[in-house]
Amino acid sequence: MKSLNYKYTIITSLIIAFLFSFNLFAQEEDASNYRMRFNLKTIKQHDNSRLLEASFIGQNKKDRKDRIPVFDAEIAFYNGTDLLGIAKTSNEGIAQLIVPENQIYTTDEDGYINFIAKFEGSDGLDEEEDDIQVKDLFLELNLEEIDSVKTVLVTAFTIDSLGVKTPLEEADLIISINGMISKMILEEGTIEDGEFEFEFPTDIPGDANGDIMVYSIIEDNDDFGNLIQQKSINWGTFKTESVKDGNTLWSEAAPIWMYIVLTILLVGVWANYVYTAINLFKIKKEGQEIALAAEKELEQ
């Protein structure tokens, strides 16, 4: 009876410990322990469409390295009060919406487009909202050879309601190309009076055909946000190294190991022939000696 009570005590203790641990774990994963980071950014892409991207991440209040993405959250994107579309966050907590090039935006009196991203909230999460204001800027990238010099030409301008182009006064610009893992920066400069010119290096490797993807990028501009233009051109170097073919089964000269194996086999065969011939000669000689000895005994 004492043994049975002891077993019940152990089992009860284990159950209480498990429930206590589970309660601690639940408290640690509770949404109230996290500060929600909800951010909106926009990128005008090379085809003049616009990418709207909302990031929804929970950051632990005590351990800032502990970040949990909020996935499958429904995010609504607006231009002012006009709904542009709805997208859900991915496993990384990112919701993206691409607005086509021909979209007509409403602007304020200063020409700014007001973008808004909204999360309506759920049982465990509060409502979130972020907005960003940008002017519509047009970025053009041209790759030309001027007097045999490979040249990158960038122009940037705005267009008013009457279709009049106004050159961009000043903005930081990045010229980059495709790298192994990410874009490799070639030049960081400034657009002045709507123009930028850069002499492209002559020693940049391209793909198998010598093609290179060139990018002109404006990042985090206060007025225009993020813009990117890209073009592919055959300005890359591609060096082919002549590799001397070794001995192979299909070449005129066989592999070295085959010569070695064949030599060993032939030596072994001929050694066996020689050994057999020597033994036969010895057997014959011994036979003759035995025959002579037998004849002498008969004569005696």
| Higher pLDDT, residue 287 or 131 | 131
Q: Where are the beta strands (DSSP E) in 89-192?
A: 94-99, 113-119, 128-134, 138-146, 149-159, 165-167, 170-178, 183-192
Whole-number pLDDT of residue 240 = 53
* Mean pLDDT of the 214-233 span: 96
CB atoms within 10 A of CB 271: 10
Of the pLDDT bands very low, low, confident and very high (cuts 50, 70, 90), residue 278 is: confident
Of the pLDDT bands very low, low, confident and very high (cuts 50, 70, 90), residue 1 is: very low
- What does the alpha-carbon distance between residue 230 and residue 45 come to, in Å, rounded to a whole number? 9
CATH 2.60.40.10 fits 30-134, yes or no: yes
Q: Do residues 214 and 233 touch, judged by C-beta distance below 8 A?
A: yes
Taking only the tens place, the pLDDT of each residue in 242-275 is 555 665 655 666 778 888 888 998 898 888 888 8
Q: Which CATH number fits domain 138-233: 2.30.30.60, 2.60.40.1940, 2.40.30.10, 3.10.20.30?
A: 2.60.40.1940
Q: Do residues 80 and 63 touch, judged by C-beta distance below 8 A?
A: no
Those residues with Cβ within 8 angstroms of residue 98's Cβ, 6 or more apart along the chain or in another chain: 45, 49, 50, 51, 52
Taking only the tens place, the pLDDT of each residue in 168-223 is 999 999 999 988 778 899 999 999 999 999 999 988 988 888 899 999 999 999 99
Fold agreement (30-134, 138-233): yes
Taking only the tens place, the pLDDT of each residue in 290-299 is 777 777 777 7
Domain spans in the chain, listed from the N-terminal domain onward: 30-134, 138-233
Of the pLDDT bands very low, low, confident and very high (cuts 50, 70, 90), residue 227 is: very high
Summary count for the chain: helices (H), strands (E) = 2, 16
Taking only the tens place, the pLDDT of each residue in 13-42 is 444 343 333 333 333 456 678 889 999 999
What are the Cα distances from residue 103, in Å, to 49, 52, 98, 136?
Answer: 8, 13, 10, 12
Q: Is 70 helix (H, G, I), strand (E, B) or coil?
A: coil
H/E segment holding residue 35: strand 34-44
Taking only the tens place, the pLDDT of each residue in 100-158 is 999 999 999 999 999 999 999 988 889 999 999 999 999 999 999 999 999 999 999 99
Q: Do residues 16 and 36 touch, judged by C-beta distance below 8 A?
A: no
Buried b (16+ CB within 10 A) or exposed e, 233-260: bebbeeeeeeeeeeeeeeeeeeeeeeee
Q: Flag whether pLDDT at 3 surpasses 70.
A: no
Whole-number pLDDT of residue 230 = 96
- What does the alpha-carbon distance between residue 43 and residue 40 come to, in Å, rounded to a whole number? 10
Whole-number pLDDT of residue 239 = 56
| Higher pLDDT, residue 239 or 95 | 95
Q: Six-digit token pair at 8?
A: 């019940």
Closest to 62 (Cα-Cα) out of 90, 27, 98, 97: 27
Whole-number pLDDT of residue 18 = 39
Whole-number pLDDT of residue 23 = 37
Whole-number pLDDT of residue 4 = 43
Of the pLDDT bands very low, low, confident and very high (cuts 50, 70, 90), residue 300 is: low
Whole-number pLDDT of residue 169 = 94
State how beta strands 34-44 and 225-233 pair.
parallel
Q: Six-digit token pair at 39?
A: 């951010």
